[in-house]
Structure formats: C-alpha cells, structure tokens
Structure 1
Amino acid sequence: MYWYEYCPEHIESKYQLLVFKGNQPFLPLTDYYHDCLGRIDKSSATSYLNCLLPFFKWLEEESNFQGKQVQWNDSEEKIRVAVEDYLIHETNCKIRDKESFRIVKLTNKSPNTISRFLSALKSFYKSMIRLKQYLYNNPLIDGQAILHQYKEELKGVREVKPRMPSIAGTEQPIVHRRLTDSYFKIINEEWHPQIIDDIDLPYQVYQAGKKANWSQRDIVIARMLFETGARATEIIELTVGDYRKRKSHQEVITFNKGSHGKKIKFLRFSKETVKRLFHYIETERKKIDKDHLDFNALSDDASIFLTEKGTSFNYPAWYYHWSRAMKANELSLNPHKSRHWFVTSRLREIYNISKNEAEIHQRKNELIKYMKWKNPETMTVYEHHFDEAKHREAHEQMLKQMELREKEYNKQRKSSKKIKPKLQVIETINSEILDTDLQELLEGLE
C-alpha cells in the first residue's frame, strides 16, 4: 500500500510531504515530489503523484518479467514491458508495436487519466536520472524516433550533403513542430468535457455516502463538490483563513489549477452546507483536533478538514472513502464528474432564466470567469449539448403536431366522400417575399 502524508506543522523537515510504502518512508517518490516543486505547480505535482501510486502498488503485486517481479529501478527494457502490461491489463488500453515505440489506443473502458499517468511516469524517471537514482536511460522516452527525425531534417536534397540554408531557397522548408519523444504514444486521445445531465446525481451520491457511513467531513466535501464545481483538492485543502477572507459566510477562496498555490478563485455554496460545515468544525473536527479548538480559536493556516489522526486531510485519504461508497452502491463515478454536472446544471439554469440572448451571453461569461477556464472555447461543448436539447424539444413538438394532424386527416378522410386528392404545387414564388435565411435554407436543401 502506497500513500503519502504532509509534514505536520510542528515538525521541522526538508520534506513537505512523505510517501510511505506500508509504514516505511519510500524515498524515490518522496524525492520525486520535491524535485517537481518549482518546476511545476504544487497541485500538478500532487496530481502526478496520485497517478503513480497505483502503478507502484501494481509493480509490487502484479508485475512480472521472465518470472521475476519488476523493480522501479530495473533496466529500461523491463520497465517498458511492465508499463505495457499495466496499460493492457489494468487500464484496458490496446497496444500496437510501431518501429521503436508503442502506440496506445484508449478503449471505452480506459480511464481518462492515461495521458497524465504516462506524463507522470516520464517525469518521475527524468527526476530520478537528474538525482542520480536511476542508472539507465528514461524508459518512457523514445530516443530512436527523435534521432531519426532529427537526421531527416538535416538531410538535404543533394546526396550525402547537408541542408542548404533557408535563404538559398533550394530546400523544402522544415515544418517546425514539437517533437514527441514519448515511447508510449496515445493516438485517439481527444479531450471533451463530459455532459452529466442527471439532475438527481448529487442526491444519489449523498445517499451512497449515508449508506457507507460517511463522516460529517465527507458529507460536507461531497456537497461542496456539487454546489461549487470545484476540483476535489481545491476543497479538501481549504484552510480556516480561506473562509475568513471572504465577506459572505457562503464563500471561500482557494487556489486554481496552474495558479501555483495562489488563492485566486472563490467558491460559493448553500446555507445548508454552511450549517453542516460549522457543525463539523464545532463537533467532529474539534474532537480530533490536538488542541480541541473551536472555529474562533483556530489560526488562519489551520486546515478545515482533518484526518482521524488530527492531521491535514489529503486527496488519497479522501478518495478512499469516496470510492468505497461508490463501489458499495454500484455507482461508477469519478469525483471530477461533479464538476461537469455543475457546469451542465448552471447552463440549464442560464437558459431557463435569461430573457434574451444578451442575458445568456453575459451569464455565460460570468460562468467562464467563475470556473477560471483559460480557454473560453471549453464552453462550446456544453452549449452544443443544450443546442441539441433545444432541437429535440422543438422537434418533439413538431412530431406531436404531425401525429395530431394525421389523426385529423384520417378522421376527415373517412367521413368525406372518396375524392381523388389533388396535390397543390406553387409553381413560382416571388423571391422578395421569402425571408433571406429561409431562402438560403431552401436552396441548401436542393
């Protein structure tokens, strides 16, 4: 079992975080995490670490190379075989050989973290080589492909001659693009936000937690997930000061992905969740806090959510309770889907309450700013969902009208004499009386 714990505030250590294997510190992953800090932001380093923990557990329990368990510091050949087995058997990917690398094809059973896992593992071995703890080449890097492409770019049109300078105009220009050096290359990865349009999803999760005997802490976190649209770590790592710094008692400030720990976004939740949050702080949390402090006595840097041991709560510890509840209630639900559910629900509300397109546009921009999306185009995928929904609704009305008209027609036909119907055709239409958009539509149907 691999897990990690943040260093308690009262202990001086060069490590902010320790990774454990069972009850013993596991230094390779500990050193890796701290080597990442300063190169990437803290949340990304933690995300990478969370992707690696299951793989290291699998290495110890399931890996096999010629009858022996694979160690993390084995040769690059052994590591590549182990990673390939892991991708096939644990993540339901399909692997195909391609020259000096492997092509990875995701299936509908593959988790959406494969790319992050491969990036994390490549990053891990880069750190281990830099720290002189891994003695081979990086097993996640395809050196041969990079060398081959580099040679091709140097090759000129003249036999065994180097390329002429671009100013000479005798060579085809090189298309400059980022070379992928990955040994495992994903070919069908295209990220799209997921549309979670089940209005009862939060209540199914709350009920699952109740059946799994969730603590007050876990219930509050689940409610905040669905009510704020935040990532789990943005909630789990909240401090008392994050709550005090907002004027509204229904809000907190927190960091965002890529903000390098800076508190740049706010989250807003319901009055019911505020009531549950303070009940947790004044009862369950106060009981396990080492000084048994109430909210007013807590320092600003005190963690809102604590483990049963009274230490700061973290994602792996929280995810254990989440996944246990989901499995026990046969719910296949990644916690990140709560974020997609939030956006889908907010957009539905925007369409329902807005009086015109200007209001819709304004409220969409407000949502984009709240979510702190770097790329506003993310919204278009959700909009497409609602465009389809509006079409279905309008189309369904048309079908109902057709059904009613069909019944009326048949009724009239039976009651009237049998007269051969005449098809009326308008032979000419003055184009001036047609709406421009309608005319273009009709022309497009020809």
Structure 2
Amino acid sequence: MCVKYYYRYCPEGTESRYELLVFHKNGPFLPLTDYYHDCIGRNDKSTAISYLNNLIPFFNWLDEYSSYHGKRVQWDDNQEIIRVAVEDYLMNEMYCKVREKDSFRFVNKTNKSIKTVSCFLSALKSFYKSLIRLKKYNYSNPMIDSYAILNEHKNEGVRKDKPRMPSEAGTEEPNSTRRLTDSYFKLINDEWQPEIIGDKFLPFEVYRAGKKVNWSLREQVIAHMLFEGGSRASEVIELTIGDYRVRKSFQEAETFNKGSHGKRVKFIRFSKDTTKLLMKYINKERAKYDEFQRTFDKLPNDAPVFLSAVGTPFTRQSWYYHWKKAMDKCEMKLNPHKTRHWFVTTSIREIYETSKTDAEITIRKNQLIQYMKWRNKDTIQVYEHYFDEGRQRETHNQMLENMKKSEEEYLKQKKNKKTKKTTLTVMESVQKMEQDEDIRELFEGLE
C-alpha cells in the first residue's frame, strides 16, 4: 500500500501552535492534525499517538482501494458511505467477519485478524467525535448506532429520581441491566464460527408466524426467497426488475454481494411456487402502490421489485419491522441472517445424502461455494465437520441397533435347547481381516 499520510513532530526551536503535523502528499492534512491535538486535550499522548497510528493506514487505504459506486470514499462523506468503507476495510485488510444485526454490525476476529482491530474501531469513533465537536464533519458519527442512543434512556423498571438501596440491604432486586455499547461496529471477542441450523421445519415455522400477523404478499415472497436462495436480506429486498429479467430462468435473479458496492456479481435462485408468488405480488399488490399502477411488462429495469405502502423503494429497516413483529408474536428469537445458515446447512445435508461418490461431493461443494460467493473457502469446513460427526453418529447408531438384534437372537437361541453351542471364531475372523490393509492399520492404531 502506498504511504500517503505521515506525521512529524515540530522541530525544536520552531514556534507553532501544533506540536505535531500530519501530512498528506507532503502538504499539511488538518483533519488528522486537529484530531490529534483535540485528542491530547482529553487523553494522554500515548493514547493519541496510538489512535493516530491506527488511523493513518485506514486513510491510506481510503485513497488507494476504497470504492463506493465506482468512486473513492472521502473521510468526510456521509455516515452511510463511511460505514460501507469501514466494513470493507475490516473484512479485506483486518480479516474480520462482519455480520449484519438489526441496526448495527457484529465484528468477529478470525485466525488471520490483526491484533489492533479494537484500537482501530475506538480510534475511528474518537476521530469522528472530535471532528463533529470541531464542526468539521457535517453528519452524525458513522461509528455510533443511532438506535442505541434512542433506546439508551428507556425506562427499565428503576424508580425515577429515587436512589437505589445498597445491595447489602436486600430490599431491592439487583440491577442486572448492563449498558450496551453504542458502537455501530460491535467487536465480539470470540472467533467467528458459522451457525449450524439443522431444523428442517424452520421455514414453515416462520411462514406460520408471518400468517399470524397477517404478512402481506411482499413479506411472504421475501421470506421464501431468503430460505430458498440463501442470500442476505438486503440482497433480496433491493432487487430491481432488471435483476429479474436479465436471467434466463424465471426462478433466478441477479444480485449484489457484501463488498461488491451494488455491482451484480452473483444470482439468487428460488422455487417455482415462489416465482408464482413473486409475479402475483408484482402484478397486483405492487401495482396498487406503483405511481402509474404498472404491471411487470410495463415496468422499467431500474424499478425496485419491492415497494413500500407509499410507493417508495422498500428498505431493510422497514422490512425488519414486519419480521420482528412475526417473531415476537410466536416468541421466536430468530435473526434474519440465520436463514442463510439454514440454507447452507440444508444444502450440505442434501449433497451428502444424494451424492454417489466422493468426487461428486467435492464438485457439488465447490459449486455451493461459488454460488454463495464466499471469500474464504474455509467457511464450509465448519459445516462439513458437523456432517462428518452426523455420519459417525448414524454409523454408531446402526452398530448399536445390530448389537441389539444380536442380543435378541442370542437370547432366542438360549431358550431353544436343541440349538448347538455357539463356537467362537475370533482367530479365523482376524486372519480374514488381515487381508484388508486399512482395517489392519486401524487395529494397530488401537495398540
């Protein structure tokens, strides 16, 4: 990466209101310079320097590699653009796993992540706080979850303006509510692992929940696409009519991927029944809210597939309200992203159960990796481990079942007095098994 940002301390004997200057292409760069001096007024110098050293690589990366709709991201872009850039930086430069969660993002380290992820997130949050305070950034802090701020002062059952008794008094329940961080990117200490969701009835439980709260056809279609296609919610909700038309199959639509900045780099596939629901939605329910009541054939390619009740493009935030309402109604704690884990789990089970050879399993697993557009191919190994264990359980259960049958046969023979005494043929059996090298090695491993 080309180094474009660097800092220098003020030379001795030189009068300046700055003890340190940050340079960009050999010229002073005041945003980081002003940040440093604002920071040392609130923290010790070692913290300020540590933050600065974590910010400079990010600013270099913005200039060299960042992209949002084909343009380089600037530090003073609006908060949504900055969040996209930070997410890309965390994934591509810090090798983190970033997961969508309601109004914020979970950040998990991987075995390749560098140690300064936490410091970088704190530094960037501190940087935008300072620049907002100095009136040099015109948007809200991109590193803060606005919903966390809104919910921060909600009533949680504590008596207003009345001090709590000490815990030793035993007259009040302990206050177990812990204030959550207001950060948009919440760092999780544990290393990321994909979730194994093996409940084959999960989609139907969700559809039933939606029915109880009277989901419209729009919510039904989106839910079916999530379970059947394995995409993220935003990749479905932000589809356009052109995304659907461009594919040869009516059961497919092109969509973007995390980090592709809206560029269509993959496709989503769904069932024939969902295709019928989709066309019914577009030609009836959607047409009702369309400005010109257009049906599928008359819609332009850039028209969004899903519309709000006021005719604007449907958003993930608006959709999530309907999802959460259904989950709360049926007391289900199900994050939408788990539909993606369910899809992968179900797909791999299908691969193992229907493939006839190991070679076929390998080919179909690679096809799944390509379809999911996983950046790290090792992701599939956790799912494979789950199914390897599952197959061993099946083998073991079959052995136990055979043992039970042998026991029943033995007891039946004991009751029959005419049955000849059973002779043991252990040595003979072992001699036969010695012809199989794999089995012989297995026995040697038990010694």
User: Which category of TM-score, normalised to the shorter sequence, fits these structures?
Assistant: 0.5 to 0.7
CA contact (8 A) 1:288 1:308 kept: yes
C-alpha distance in 1 between matches for 2:433 and 2:412: 38
CA contact (8 A) 2:197 2:341 kept: yes
The corresponding residue for 2:178 is 89
What is the aligned-residue RMSD (CA, Å)?
3.6
Code of the residue aligned with 1:89 in structure 2: it is R
**Fraction of identical pairs, as percent:** 48
TM-score of the superposed pair, with normalisation by structure 1: 0.62
Cα deviation digits, residues 37-89 of structure 1 (max 9, x gap): 555569x99958921243122224359xxx99xxxxxxxxxxxxxxxxx9963
Q: Which ranges of 4 or more aligned residues in structure 1 deviate by more than 4 Å?
A: 37-42, 44-49, 417-425, 427-432
The corresponding residue for 2:356 is 355
CA contact (8 A) 1:216 1:284 kept: yes
C-alpha distance in 2 between matches for 1:313 and 1:46: 21
The corresponding residue for 1:290 is 291
Deviation at 1:414, TM superposition (A): 3.4
- Counterpart pick for 1:59 among 125, 139, 152: 152
C-alpha distance in 1 between matches for 2:429 and 2:216: 74
The corresponding residue for 1:413 is 414
CA contact (8 A) 1:33 1:49 kept: no
C-alpha distance in 2 between matches for 1:370 and 1:269: 13
The corresponding residue for 1:11 is none
1:120 aligns with 2:120: no
CA contact (8 A) 1:254 1:267 kept: yes
C-alpha distance in 1 between matches for 2:297 and 2:146: 37
C-alpha distance in 2 between matches for 1:198 and 1:327: 19
Q: What's the secondary structure of 1:266's corresponding residue?
A: strand
The number of aligned residues is: 312
CA contact (8 A) 1:192 1:381 kept: yes
CA contact (8 A) 1:236 1:315 kept: yes
C-alpha distance in 2 between matches for 1:49 and 1:421: 67
CA contact (8 A) 1:49 1:120 kept: no
Q: 1:317 to 1:46 in 2, by over 3 A?
A: farther
> 1:201-216 residue pairs with structure 2 within 5 A?
201-216=202-217
Q: 1:345 to 1:87 in 2, by over 3 A?
A: farther
Q: What's the secondary structure of 1:190's corresponding residue?
A: coil
The corresponding residue for 2:240 is 239
Q: 1:55 to 1:411 in 2, by over 3 A?
A: same
C-alpha distance in 1 between matches for 2:216 and 2:262: 28
C-alpha distance in 1 between matches for 2:405 and 2:429: 30
TM-score of the superposed pair, with normalisation by structure 2: 0.62
Deviation at 1:436, TM superposition (A): 2.2
Q: What's the secondary structure of 1:375's corresponding residue?
A: coil
C-alpha distance in 1 between matches for 2:403 and 2:432: 28
Unaligned runs of 5+ in 1: 1-15, 17-29, 69-85, 92-113, 122-184
1:33 aligns with 2:80: yes
1:267 aligns with 2:268: yes
Q: What's the secondary structure of 2:185's corresponding residue?
A: helix
Deviation at 1:330, TM superposition (A): 1.9
C-alpha distance in 2 between matches for 1:442 and 1:37: 56
C-alpha distance in 2 between matches for 1:193 and 1:39: 22
Q: 1:90 to 1:247 in 2, by over 3 A?
A: farther
C-alpha distance in 2 between matches for 1:224 and 1:344: 16
The corresponding residue for 2:376 is 375
C-alpha distance in 2 between matches for 1:407 and 1:190: 49
> 1:393-408 residue pairs with structure 2 within 5 A?
393-408=394-409
Deviation at 1:303, TM superposition (A): 1.0
Deviation at 1:397, TM superposition (A): 1.5
Q: Which moved more, 1:30-39 or 1:356-365?
A: 30-39
> 1:47-446 residue pairs with structure 2 within 5 A?
47=100, 50-51=103-104, 52-61=145-154, 89=178, 118=183, 120=185, 186-187=188-189, 189-416=190-417, 426=427, 433-446=434-447
CA contact (8 A) 2:238 2:315 kept: yes
